[in-house]
Amino acid sequence: MELGLVLTLCGLGAAFWLPAIIIGLISHGKKKNCTMNTVGLVIRINSKSSGDGSLSFYPVYEYYANGMKYTNEGASIKHCVPQVGTKVPVMYNPAKPKQSYIPGYDNKVYKILAIVFGIIGCIPILVCTGILFFTGI
């Protein structure tokens, strides 16, 4: 029975570590590829209701890269929502200018999610390790 519990706990931990790794890679890829900076303008704020009844806000911003105008939606923000008309720094990918992010907003969201999933994944792994250590399976 302990072996089944150990395998289940290890699988549960891995199930949380996988999204943490993927989110971390996405964040790193954005930061690595989006090397050019420009100034964008917040043109509207989209809002969506989350499962707990609170609202999440997504700034929609436009910016120019290589003479072309692009529009993109930033990551979810609950606090410190920029006002419409606010100028924001934008980092974009020179090879694919449509790929962009607002420094300070998007990076924080990805980092927080990766950390949360990583910590949650550690708990069953630590319990699994404890079971292996104390029972000698």
Digitized pLDDT (tens) for each residue of the chain, 137 residues in all: 577 887 888 888 888 888 888 877 777 777 788 999 999 999 999 988 877 777 888 899 999 999 999 999 987 776 677 889 999 999 999 999 999 988 876 666 777 788 888 898 888 888 888 888 888 76
| Whole-number Cα distances in Å, 90 to 21, 47, 87, 99, 119 | 25, 21, 9, 10, 30
Query: Which domain range does residue 126 map to?
Result: 2-135
Q: What angle in degrees, to the nearest 10, is found between the helix axes of 2-33 and 106-135?
A: 160
| pLDDT of the residue at 49 | 80
| pLDDT of the residue at 13 | 87
Q: How many domains does the chain have?
A: 1
Nearest-angstrom CA–CA distance, 109 and 130:
32
